[in-house]
Each structure stands twice: as structure tokens, then as C-alpha cells.
Structure 1
Amino acid sequence: MVPNGTEVQVRPGTEADLDALTALYNHYVTETAITFDLTPFTPLERRPWLLSHPEDGPHRLLVATDTDSRRVLGYATSGPHRPKAAYAPSVETSVYLAPDATGRGVGTLLYDALFAALAEEDVHRAFAGITQPNEASVRLHARFGFRHLGTFGEVGRKFGRHWDVAWYQKDLGAG
């Protein structure tokens, strides 16, 4: 349950969630600099991303839904940090919330579930890149023990301006 009394279920994402997850992500593509994707996705284009997150293993997709309406409120993922094999014990994490679900504790529920799942995996470090400014995301990551490593200045260009990305690390302790 989140602070406003809404019952929220956190579960692995499935293909049945693809349309809702794509629409949620596309909001961030078209309306914000939180992601550096520039063109919205179709569900078909987004399907390989969904399938790259099985129910077990270090690369997870967890979805939060309102238990009454079954509406997707957000999702959290862990995915490869870098493609080379030696990076396998490291993951990059992210949380995306429906605009009306922010500030209600949904991100905390998602990260609680994600890091509980990752505790059972051979994962040593989690990283998160946060486009600046984004105080809500910085606070969420700090709450979960991420520490600031540094900031890449003006590393991305979107909406006619350059954006900084701050990088954070969480020690997970495996391997």
C-alpha cells in the first residue's frame, strides 16, 4: 500500500503489460529529458526490451499496478551495465512512474522489490544515470544507498539543449 491508501501490487512484467509500458515510457521520451531516446516506440519495437528481462536472473523488469484497476503505475528494471562479459556482475537500474503516480511511494515499492530480487543473484554493483536536474530521482537513489560517482557534463542533447547526467553506484556485495 502506498501513502494515499492505494493498494499496489509489484510483480514481474509480462507481455500483457507491453502496451502500457510502452505508453508510459513514451511519455518520458516525448515530454522529458529523463531518457535520451528521441523518438517514441511502438509496442513491437519495445518488445525485445521487454523480453530481455526474464523473471529470474540479474536483468529484471518489475511492474507496479493498482490492484483495483490493474493500471500500470510504473516499473523498475535492472539491465546490463555494459555489453562486455567482464561487466556481468554490474547492472544499471532505473525506475519510470506514470506521471500521476509520482511522490506516492510507488518508486520505493519497486526498488524494494528489485533489490530484494537482486540479493539472490550474482550482482556486485548497481549503477544509475540520472539526467540533471531530477531531485526526486536523486532522493530515491540516495534512500537506497546509491552514492554519487560523478557527473558527465552536457553529455546529451534533447529539446534544443545539452543535459548533464549524474552517475550513482550502489554496492550489492555479491561476488
Structure 2
Amino acid sequence: MPPERTEVQVRPGVEGDLDALTDLYNHYVRETPITFDTVSSTPAERRPWLLSHPEDGPHRLMVATQGTPEGDAQRILGYATSSPHRPKAAYATSVEVTVYVAPDAGGRGIGTLLYEALFAALAGQDLHRAYAGIAQPNEASTRLHERFGFRYVGTYREVGRKFGRFWDVAWYEKEL
């Protein structure tokens, strides 16, 4: 019988998570059109990304973990981020949000837990809107965002090319 799992914990991401976060992201780079990155990264290459999401402020990184009662190392099940929407100063009150869940952890509510924690952390920030771009098709992500009050605002048609084909990205927004 496998060991009983402890409940999922959500916390801010830390530098010690970098290897596991890089592995998780690289899965999506190699196997899916969910990210338009086309080349896997090393942890050293991803480190500036991690450091751009401190424990306070509008740009956050929340990590879902789970361990065993025996105290085994915490396994990262997914993460959510809020990042700058665009680099120009007038966009400072807007963020782009995203969620990545480990491939074997889907359908367990991990994305919901991550977004609950992320939006709670952002509640006191000087933010006006959150945006999410969802490569199509991705019904699970669309449902997650709609559950959190995101509204569809439009689609960029064939905006990215990966795996030898073009992909649409549907854009959603949420008032914060």
C-alpha cells in the first residue's frame, strides 16, 4: 500500500524550488503548446525569472507542494505567477497570470488552490486588472479562469508557431 499523502500546501516560491520548477516548466516547453517557449531552460537560465517574483508586491510566485507523513521532501505539484503585463509604466497596475500543474496532478484542484492563494496575496496591491492568455484549445484552463471571474476579451489568431503548426491564444481579463 502506498504511503498516505499529506494535504496540499500553497506557499510563496523560494530559490530552493528552482530545479523542480524548471523541470515542471520544461515539460510544457517540450510536450505542449501551452507555453510558446520552444527550447528547454536550465535552472541557471530560469533563476532571473524566479527572482523577479518576490514574496511581496504585485509579481508573485505561489507553489503547491505535497509530502508524506514520514517527512519526505515536498513535491511541487504546480505553481501560479503574476508577472508584468507589458513593460511600459502605464501598464504597472496590470498583471499577466498563469498556472502550471504537474502532468500527473491535473484534475485535483491544484490550479484552484494556486489561484486562490495568488489572488489573496494580490488583494492589497495597487492592481486594476489581471490578464491570462490561453493557447487554444485548452478547456481545463478556460474553465479555471472563468471560475475565477475572468471574461473572454478576444483571440489572437495563429499568433504562435510551435510543433510545425500555428496556435491561437484566447485572452481573458479579470478586475482586481
Deviation at 1:120, TM superposition (A): 1.0
Deviation readout 1:117-175 (Å, 9 max, x if unpaired): 11111111000000000000000000000000000000000000000000000001xxx
Are positions 1:81 and 2:59 aligned together? no
Residue of structure 2 in register with 1:102 after alignment? 106
**Residues 7-22 of structure 1: matches in 2 within 5 Å?**
7-22=7-22
Are positions 1:153 and 2:138 aligned together? no
Percent identical pairs in the alignment equals 76
Letter in 1 for 2:82: S
> 1:135 and 1:6 mapped to 2: Cα distance?
29
**Residues 48-127 of structure 1: matches in 2 within 5 Å?**
48-68=48-68, 69=72, 70-127=74-131
Give the secondary-structure state (helix, strand or coil) at the position aligned to 1:123: coil
Q: Which moved more, 1:157-166 or 1:64-73?
A: 64-73
Instruction: Tell me the matched-pair count.
Output: 169
Deviation readout 1:2-37 (Å, 9 max, x if unpaired): xxx750010000010000000000000000000000
Letter in 1 for 2:40: P
Paired residues of 1:9 and 1:67 also in contact (CA < 8 A): no
In structure 1, runs of 5+ residues without a counterpart are none
Give the CA RMSD over aligned residues: 1.2
TM-score by length of 1: 0.95
Give the secondary-structure state (helix, strand or coil) at the position aligned to 1:139: helix
Letter in 2 for 1:116: A
Give the secondary-structure state (helix, strand or coil) at the position aligned to 2:126: coil
In structure 2, runs of 5+ residues without a counterpart are none
> 2:165 and 2:172 mapped to 1: Cα distance?
23
TM-score by length of 2: 0.94
